[in-house]
Amino acid sequence: MIALVTGANRGLGRETARQLLAGGHTVLVAARQEDAARDTAAQLGEGAYPLRLDVTGTADIAAAAEQVRERFGHLDVLVNNAAIHYDTWQHAVGADLAVVREAAETNVFGPWQLVQALLPLLRAGSHQRIVNVSSGAGSLTEMTTGSTPAYSLTKAALNALTRMLAADLRDDGILVNAVCPGWVATDMGGPGGRPVSEGAAGIVWAATLPDGGPTGGFFRDRLPIAW
Ligand code: NAP
């Protein structure tokens, strides 16, 4: 099985790649810096291949898709993990919309464009899964304050995208789910969160669901959570 993980050079992306490798997958370790992709893939070892991929770059996405096609001819699993701007410093009422737009490029349009570019390769794959790494911060039900507006808005949009892609790809047998990893101690999550291994486990679960498994859902620790 061939898997591609975006933002795989650190944090949850790196740990997701590590766990998928341990499960026997071949993993494309995608990172926006070429040396970061190369170093991480080398550290993760056999079965890990570096891929330079800035998810905001149309040319980058096309080049990455072409590399995957040339090398493997298909893709089975896509984990849209890369994200930015956990904007704890602002509220919706006074939010800098430039920050919100920038977040949307990485957190929403990046995954969307990547799915579109990789779809021919996914259609050529087997037991195909797309995991959109989301957050409870994007839950409309939980959205009772205007805090982290760029992050919350873009994760809610990613959840909406998950529903739409799941519906569009249901007949292809491609399962598409959103996963919140919980609060995890990474650069983004900061100290105090749980270990990356625990957060990544739920992502890997969604990436390796059996045929006939759920699609169009929002999960944390394998359990459905409120949109
Ligand atoms: P992180 O430590 O900040 O890592 C983010 C990763 O995304 C880095 O590898 C970064 O690459 C990459 N990235 C950012 N912009 C990119 C771009 N344009 N193209 C490609 N890669 C890009 O974050 P994390 O905590 O591991 O979070 C991973 C995912 O889990 C995110 O979707 C996040 O929203 C979600 N999440 C995290 C928590 C938490 O508590 N940590 C909670 C809920 C959800 P560089 O190294 O080049 O910057």
Q: Which amino acid is at 195?
A: P
The Cα 120–Cα 124 span in angstroms is: 6
Q: Which tokens sit at 52?
A: 């330079």
Q: What beta strand segments (E) does 62-212 contain?
A: 77-80, 129-133, 175-179
The pLDDT tens digits of the residues spanning 27-40 come to: 999 999 999 999 99
Rounded average pLDDT over 59-74: 97
Q: How far is CA 129 from CA 104, 170, 205, in A?
A: 23, 11, 10
Instruction: Output the CA–CA distances (angstroms, integers) from residue 78 to 9, 43, 120, in the order listed.
Output: 16, 21, 13
Q: At 143, is the pLDDT very low, low, confident or very high (cuts 50, 70, 90)?
A: very high
Select from 34, 55, 153, 186 the residue to mutate for testing ligand 1; criterion: most ligand atoms less than 8 Å from CB.
186
CA atoms within 13 A on the CB side of 53: 32
C-beta 76 within 6 A of ligand 1: no
pLDDT at 5: 99
Task: Tell the CATH topology of 2-224.
Answer: Rossmann fold (3.40.50)
pLDDT attached to residue 83: 98
Answer whether 32 contacts ligand 1 (Cβ < 6 A): yes
- pLDDT at position 159 is 98
149-183: b (≥16 Cβ within 10 Å) or e: bbbbbbbbbbbebbbebbeebeeeebbbbbbbbbe
What pLDDT score does 94 carry? 98
Task: For 152-196, write each residue's pLDDT tens digit.
Answer: 999 999 999 999 999 999 999 999 999 999 999 999 999 999 999
Whole-angstrom distance, CA of residue 106 vs CA of residue 122: 21
Report whether residue 180 contacts ligand 1, using a CB cutoff of 6 Å: yes
Query: In which element (H, E) is residue 219 found?
Result: strand 218-220
pLDDT given at position 67? 98
Binned at pLDDT 50, 70 and 90, residue 93 comes out as very high
Ligand 1 pocket, residue 225 CB under 6 Å: no
Q: Where are the alpha helices (DSSP H) in 89-191?
A: 97-104, 110-123, 149-169
Of ligand 1's atoms, which has the minimum distance to the CA of residue 56? 18
